[in-house]
């Protein structure tokens, strides 16, 4: 089974540099805008749905990283998903999905500080993901939205 984890970091690097840092350690990485993340399960579920789509041949994208972003965005259009979930120019806070075994993250090499509070679901991230306040927690609502991507893909 593949080792995966979700972390929050703060640093002054560009998202591509952050991803390349983890790639240089023989892992794969997806860098998200924390203002659109509603908990670690949001990211993990997106990855598992993407993995399943590839195993069934129902994916819409060419690689699992883009498919993960598609599911995380709860959208059916890859272009919109990338625009929505990617960090914006000048951002210094990131949520990173790391796929692969990596014991030492070597965050100091990119001037990063770990801040897992960035992963938590906030009113801002819930609003950005179009989640409506009700008796169901936002962290559960986002999982429902991810599941609907399978239906929207067709």
| Cβ-defined contacts of 46-55 (< 8 Å, 24+) | 46/71, 46/72, 46/146, 47/4, 47/71, 47/97, 47/99, 49/146, 49/147, 49/149, 49/150, 53/150
* Contact (CB, 8 A) for 82 and 66: yes
Burial class (CB in 10 A: 0-12, 13-18, 19+), 112: buried
Q: Which tokens go with 36?
A: 């659109």
For the chain, the structural domain boundaries read: 4-152
Q: Which pLDDT value is given to residue 103?
A: 86
Mean pLDDT of the chain: 95
Query: Residue 124 carries which DSSP code?
Result: H
* Contact (CB, 8 A) for 81 and 70: yes
| Statement: residue 154 has pLDDT above 70 | no
Mapped onto helix, strand or coil, the DSSP state of residue 84 is helix
Rounded percentage of the chain residues whose pLDDT exceeds 70: 98
User: What number of other Cβ atoms are within 10 A of residue 65's Cβ?
Assistant: 18
* Contact (CB, 8 A) for 102 and 30: no
| Statement: residue 1 has pLDDT above 80 | no
Q: What CATH homologous superfamily does 4-152 map to? A: CGI121/TPRKB (3.30.2380.10)
pLDDT band per the 50, 70, 90 thresholds, residue 152: confident
């Amino acid at each position: 089974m593949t080792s995966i984890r979700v972390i929050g970091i703060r640093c002054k690097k560009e998202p591509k540099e952050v991803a390349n840092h983890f790639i240089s350690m023989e892992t794969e990485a997806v860098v998200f805008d924390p203002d659109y993340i509603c908990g670690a399960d949001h990211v993990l579920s997106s990855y598992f749905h993407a993995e399943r789509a590839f195993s069934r041949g129902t994916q819409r994208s060419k690689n699992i990283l883009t498919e993960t972003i598609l599911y995380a965005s709860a959208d059916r259009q890859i272009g919109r998903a990338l625009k929505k979930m990617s960090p914006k120019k000048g951002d210094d806070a990131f949520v990173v999905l790391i796929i692969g075994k990596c014991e030492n993250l070597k965050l100091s090499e990119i001037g990063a500080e770990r801040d897992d509070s960035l992963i938590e679901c906030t009113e801002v991230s819930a609003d950005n993901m179009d989640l409506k306040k009700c008796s169901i927690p936002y962290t559960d609502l986002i999982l429902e939205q991810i599941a609907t991507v399978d239906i929207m893909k067709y």
